Structure 1
Amino acid sequence: TSVDPGATATVSATVIAPPSPCACALTFDLVREGVAWFGSLGSPTTRLLTSVAPITYAAGFTSTALAAAYFGEAKTIQMTVTNTGNQPWTASGPNPVDLSYHLLDADGNPVVWDGPRTPLGGDMAVGASKQFTIGYTAPGTAGTYTLVVDLVREGIAWFASLGSQPFRQSFAVTSGLNAGYGATTTPQQATIGATLKLTTVVANYGARTWTPGAFALSYHIYDSGGTPVVWDGARGALPSSVPPLTSVTVPISVSLPSGTGGYRIEWDMVQEGVAWFSQLGVQRKQELFTIVPGVTFYGSGFGHGVGMSQYGANGWATGVTGLTLTGEQIVARYYPGTTLQFVDAQRPNNRVLLSAPSSQGRYVCGDNRYFGGSLADLNSSGGMRVLNEGANNQEIARGAGGQNFQFIARNGIVEVWQNWSPPTLVYSGPGPISVAPIDPTQPLGFIQKGGTYRGNIRFTNLGGTLRVINVLSYDDYVRGVLPLEMPTSWHAEALKAQAYAARTYSYTANKPTRDYDVTDDQADQCYGGTRVEVPSSNTAVNATAGKVITYQGASIRAYFASSNGGYTMSDGCWMNNVVRSGSSWVCSAGQPYLAPVADPADRAVAAPANPRASWTVTFTSSDVRSAVLRCGGPDIGALQAVDLSNQVPPGVGHPISVRVFGSAANADLRADDFLRNCLGLRSTMVRLNPF
């Protein structure tokens, strides 16, 4: 408002301090705008002496003493920070204040200058205090270091450069690391370019715990001249933390060089991003090995691997995996989706070929004799009847217990001779001739085969030799199969599972258009008649009597083999069911009940142990070259590499094809044909490194 002469008024004024500190006089005066200051017109002014203080960003720190640290160790320190300046600290905006640190070596040189930031978490007024946890990482070299904690006004300056005293404290850094190397699985000899899955026992002799990720096992490989071939080897992850004075077995994959000759592998622990233990004075473990031309197959199993594993069945029955299964449960595991049903009453009998070509060559079972002759002698303690099947089973002759009949193939017909005094020809004709025991509990003895057989025996003339077929019930057939296909001392539930499989196999093999269903050899199932029967196997037959394995109402092809190597194989991946699809081999659609299933009991069985759970075979370059040629492949020249990666299921199952790389050509072959037939391996469950 206007101020009249002699009147007074109170005026509020805003005063801006100078930009620099000073001892100043603050003068108040009136001004007539555009004319003059009152003081210049003789009016008195008011002068106040004052001083302007500097802007101060400063901090105070309190903390506990720092502990010694190990190489690369992540450490924290609890600290109280106080705003001892005259300006509030802002936690956001263009120039926020943050907490950070420098790390200096013993000479004061920065190891870490611009350390990670710790936010304030909110503005701090003058005089305010707050607790913080600051994280830092110890250096990877032994020595004495100084941690310098300071605040920074981002984009402007560290508080220390503005005159504030930072927190400073020294601490010692040591490795705390020491190790010893124990047993390994390093082979003395390996093949070119192989990747070996090895294990090494490592002991922690240091003062600090090794944690997975931060620490690992590795290796260096040198040639015979001492030149490093592999320096920074693959890592073997620690399976768990390793405290001081404990040890651990570390799995590790080692990729071998591609050249032949002598090499040295040196095992070395590593603290990732910090140092090799050997750089800290820890002695490495050295092992010599040789790389040779050729290939080593690490295998498991025996047989085709389709369907039930016999060793696996005994493993499940004995509970080796912690799970004990009955015979019925074993069947359900190996043949998923199946059920058990009784055989068709309209088809009660099985027909087994006892004569040539059965039991010939590599298919012979145990001491089963081969019969390919034109003369056969039969007897029975309970007597027997000779019937002409061609004349509605008309009885031709009858013999008492101990009396023999002789059957001869001659001139396209069958002759039957009563072979007691005097020998008498009782039949001569086309047949078929069938012999049945008068007392079914006294089976027929077939002298030339060296065995006795339940049921009937049928004779026909086939090209001048006798065609001999045993006709009997499925249960009686299985009595003569089980002891030859599975040791009778094995667990009763395993024997039951084998009985189901054997009965089902023969039942499904029924061929109405042929005069027999199965042979008595390994082309189908080993069958020895009553001479091989024992109480334990007969008990299993009785416990499973009349039942076969079915899928959707039909009996299945119940394949089984000695051992599958830990995983069954689909029938769609077996033999010629593996087909080409573009540039690759693939499996055909298999039966759902023969889908591949994991079988840990196969390799783990202990009563008895599986002798084929693990085996190795090494082939030279020449061996592999010849095998490829035998399998119809090209001349590969010198072997360079083998690839088994086409596995079903991937990574765990049987290879279905094998790629062979050579100096002259490459080959891509069915695994079943190449591995089992042309190389003669026991199984297709093979790898290029140990399981």
Structure 2
Amino acid sequence: MRNVAPLIGCCAALWPANALAGPVTIAGRGWGHGVGMSQWGARGFAEHGWSYRRILGHYYPGTELRREPGIDVRVLIAEGRRTVVVGSKAPFRVRDARGRTRTLGAGRHPLHGRLTVIPGAAPLSLDGAGYRGRLVLHGGTVVNVLPLERYLRGVVPWEMPHRWNPEALKTQAVAARSYALATLKRGRPFDLFADTRDQVYGGIRAESDATNAAIGATAGQVLTYAGRPALTYYFSTSGGRTAAAIDVLPWAPRVPYLVSVADPYDGLSPHHAWRLTFTRPRLGQLLHLPGVQRIELQSNASGRVAEVWVRWRGGTTSIAGRTFQSELGLPSTWFRVAGAKTTTAAGTAAPPAPARLSGWILVLASDPSGDSARAAARRLGADVLRSDDYPGLIPGYWVVYRGPFASRPAATGAAYPRRLSP
């Protein structure tokens, strides 16, 4: 049961005079945490002619696309098993902890202990599901060890429909590859979970020709920031604008590429906008409260609800926006409650990126001061233009041309490097 505070007389002034009447309607946008790449938005950009490179640059500003050497990854595909049944359509080998190897015939075999199972002429299977690479068994867990590119074959089609635009699939392939490298769990018996704790991995049964082609077309390509793989969060639907990690994922690193950006083509998604209605007794039951009379919301700078205040007869409590979302089963934290007051908390600026040059232009984050280009040029001591004036550039940014800056630190201190060409 959540801790609640008794309502005292002075608190009444904090609440609007009108209590909620009848059923409570909650209208919202998007599906998922909202940070990083919107998958439906990426599809929309692709269908409007954007290349995967350009799409990635939009959702992860300031990152750089590089080619990284291939590695093997260790994926946890089963845990807490008393018996593990491994099979194959061809003979395969089993090596124990002492290095002794034996060959098992084609078919399914129950296995126990600490073993490494090595495929022969056909892939291995666990409970009938096929996996590329080898399987490592230990203490009731099964870890699939395979090349990163083969791992992606089992991830991309389960994270994005394989019938979507090829450029969207390439975008997903790079995002999935980058996320995997950024979240490797060194020092543990495995690197990645096979479910939503990391990325959903289905092995061979998930593979499709279209997603295999997208993975091949982007082979080895990884988004990086400051020389390291970028933490490329992604999700289903933004509702029109993504969220900054600092607003909704308190555990995420404070990096300048996980910021809120416009998502104009996200409207293709069936979850772009949604509406749910609850009776007040049901709302109280879901929130584990004795009742619901009034609700007040506080949203963050990304538009998502950060805090919910609920009042009932005799008490009041605050609930984190993500907890409110989870307990009511809402698709996202971007919502409003009909008849409830909503206030917006002051935003927190993203940390500045390193002052370094790459490519021919520097892009500065939008300046809320509303400066003209001429005023910005005077303030920065540099040649400044607006990106809005140039077709193909993302609007809402200053463009600073590389050259002799009157004050180089002023021009680069808040800038991040980025190529904007497709």
Name 2:254's counterpart in structure 1.
Answer: 590
Name 1:669's counterpart in structure 2.
Answer: 319
1:625 to 267, 278, 284: 284
Instruction: Give the structure with the higher percent helix.
Output: 2
Trace 1:302-381 onto structure 2 (pairs within 5 A).
302-319=31-48, 324-344=49-69, 348-356=71-79, 372-381=81-90
Aligned AA (1:599): D
TM-superposed deviation, 1:548: 1.8
Q: CA 1:668 to 1:452, structure 2 compared with 1: closer, same or farther past 3 Å?
A: same
Trace 1:145-156 onto structure 2 (pairs within 5 A).
none
- Please give the alpha-carbon distance, in whole angstroms, between the structure 2 residues aligned to 1:259 and 1:458: 59
Instruction: Check if 1:646 corresponds to 2:296.
Output: no
Give the conservation status (yes or no) of the 8 Å contact 2:87–2:107. yes
- Please give the alpha-carbon distance, in whole angstroms, between the structure 1 residues aligned to 2:249 and 2:281: 25
- Please give the alpha-carbon distance, in whole angstroms, between the structure 1 residues aligned to 2:335 and 2:182: 31
Report Cα offsets for 1:459-491 as digits up to 9, x if no partner: 12x1xxx32110011110010111111110000
Instruction: Check if 1:601 corresponds to 2:265.
Output: yes
TM-superposed deviation, 1:396: 0.6
Give the conservation status (yes or no) of the 8 Å contact 1:627–1:674. no
Q: CA 1:515 to 1:591, structure 2 compared with 1: closer, same or farther past 3 Å?
A: same
Aligned AA (2:213): T
Instruction: Check if 1:525 corresponds to 2:175.
Output: no
Trace 1:216-615 onto structure 2 (pairs within 5 A).
258=18, 292-319=21-48, 324-344=49-69, 348-356=71-79, 372-381=81-90, 383-388=91-96, 390-391=97-98, 394=99, 396-399=101-104, 403-404=106-107, 406-409=109-112, 414=113, 431=114, 433-439=115-121, 442-446=122-126, 448=127, 450-460=128-138, 462=139, 466-574=140-248, 576=250, 590-603=254-267, 605=268, 610-615=269-274
Secondary structure of 1:548's counterpart equals strand
- Please give the alpha-carbon distance, in whole angstroms, between the structure 1 residues aligned to 2:35 and 2:158: 19
Secondary structure of 2:32's counterpart equals coil
TM-superposed deviation, 1:259: 7.0
Instruction: Check if 1:657 corresponds to 2:307.
Output: yes
Give the conservation status (yes or no) of the 8 Å contact 1:567–1:654. no
TM-superposed deviation, 1:295: 2.3
Give the conservation status (yes or no) of the 8 Å contact 1:625–1:639. no
Name 2:348's counterpart in structure 1.
Answer: none
Report Cα offsets for 1:611-635 as digits up to 9, x if no partner: 1112111122223333443xxxxx5
Aligned AA (2:124): L
- Please give the alpha-carbon distance, in whole angstroms, between the structure 2 residues aligned to 1:594 and 1:621: 37
- Please give the alpha-carbon distance, in whole angstroms, between the structure 2 residues aligned to 1:665 and 1:575: 29
Gaps spanning 5+ residues in structure 2: where? 1-15, 340-422
Instruction: Give the structure with the higher percent strand.
Output: 1
- Please give the alpha-carbon distance, in whole angstroms, between the structure 2 residues aligned to 1:397 and 1:408: 12
Report Cα offsets for 1:569-615 as digits up to 9, x if no partner: 222222555xxxxxxxxxx9732111111212112x2xxxx111121
In percent, how many aligned pairs have the same letter? 34
Report Cα offsets for 1:331-383 as digits up to 9, x if no partner: 111111111223355xx1111111126xxxxxxxxxxxxxx3413122144x4
Give the conservation status (yes or no) of the 8 Å contact 2:86–2:111. no
TM-superposed deviation, 1:294: 4.3
Aligned AA (2:233): Y
- Please give the alpha-carbon distance, in whole angstroms, between the structure 2 residues aligned to 1:636 and 1:664: 9
- Please give the alpha-carbon distance, in whole angstroms, between the structure 2 residues aligned to 1:597 and 1:458: 42
Give the conservation status (yes or no) of the 8 Å contact 2:72–2:146. yes
Give the conservation status (yes or no) of the 8 Å contact 1:299–1:686. yes
Name 1:11's counterpart in structure 2.
Answer: none
Q: CA 1:458 to 1:661, structure 2 compared with 1: closer, same or farther past 3 Å?
A: same
- The structure showing larger relative contact order (alpha-carbon pairs under 8 Å, at least 6 residues apart) is 2
Report Cα offsets for 1:533-591 as digits up to 9, x if no partner: 111010011011112221111112221111122221222222555xxxxxxxxxx9732
- Please give the alpha-carbon distance, in whole angstroms, between the structure 2 residues aligned to 1:590 and 1:625: 36
Name 2:378's counterpart in structure 1.
Answer: none
Report Cα offsets for 1:65-96 as digits up to 9, x if no partner: xxxxxxxxxxxxxxxxxxxxxxxxxxxxxxxx
Report Cα offsets for 1:148-176 as digits up to 9, x if no partner: xxxxxxxxxxxxxxxxxxxxxxxxxxxxx
Give the conservation status (yes or no) of the 8 Å contact 1:636–1:661. no
- Please give the alpha-carbon distance, in whole angstroms, between the structure 2 residues aligned to 1:374 and 1:471: 20
- Please give the alpha-carbon distance, in whole angstroms, between the structure 2 residues aligned to 1:342 and 1:318: 26
Trace 1:136-151 onto structure 2 (pairs within 5 A).
none
Give the conservation status (yes or no) of the 8 Å contact 1:298–1:686. yes
- Please give the alpha-carbon distance, in whole angstroms, between the structure 2 residues aligned to 1:399 and 1:589: 47
Aligned AA (2:92): M
TM-superposed deviation, 1:305: 1.2
Give the conservation status (yes or no) of the 8 Å contact 1:571–1:595. yes
Q: CA 1:314 to 1:376, structure 2 compared with 1: closer, same or farther past 3 Å?
A: same
Secondary structure of 1:488's counterpart equals coil
TM-superposed deviation, 1:689: 5.6
- Please give the alpha-carbon distance, in whole angstroms, between the structure 2 residues aligned to 1:445 and 1:637: 51
TM-score (structure 2 length as normaliser)? 0.71
Task: Give the paired residue count.
Answer: 324
TM-score (structure 1 length as normaliser)? 0.44
TM-superposed deviation, 1:438: 3.2
- Please give the alpha-carbon distance, in whole angstroms, between the structure 1 residues aligned to 2:92 and 2:68: 28
Give the conservation status (yes or no) of the 8 Å contact 2:292–2:310. no
Secondary structure of 1:600's counterpart equals coil
* Aligned-pair Cα RMSD in Å: 2.5
- Please give the alpha-carbon distance, in whole angstroms, between the structure 2 residues aligned to 1:259 and 1:524: 42
Q: CA 1:663 to 1:453, structure 2 compared with 1: closer, same or farther past 3 Å?
A: same
Aligned AA (1:404): G
TM-superposed deviation, 1:668: 2.6
Aligned AA (1:489): R
Secondary structure of 2:164's counterpart equals coil
- Please give the alpha-carbon distance, in whole angstroms, between the structure 1 residues aligned to 2:17 and 2:307: 25
Report Cα offsets for 1:644-683 as digits up to 9, x if no partner: 342323xxx22222233433233332211112x1211111
- Please give the alpha-carbon distance, in whole angstroms, between the structure 1 residues aligned to 2:19 and 2:26: 19
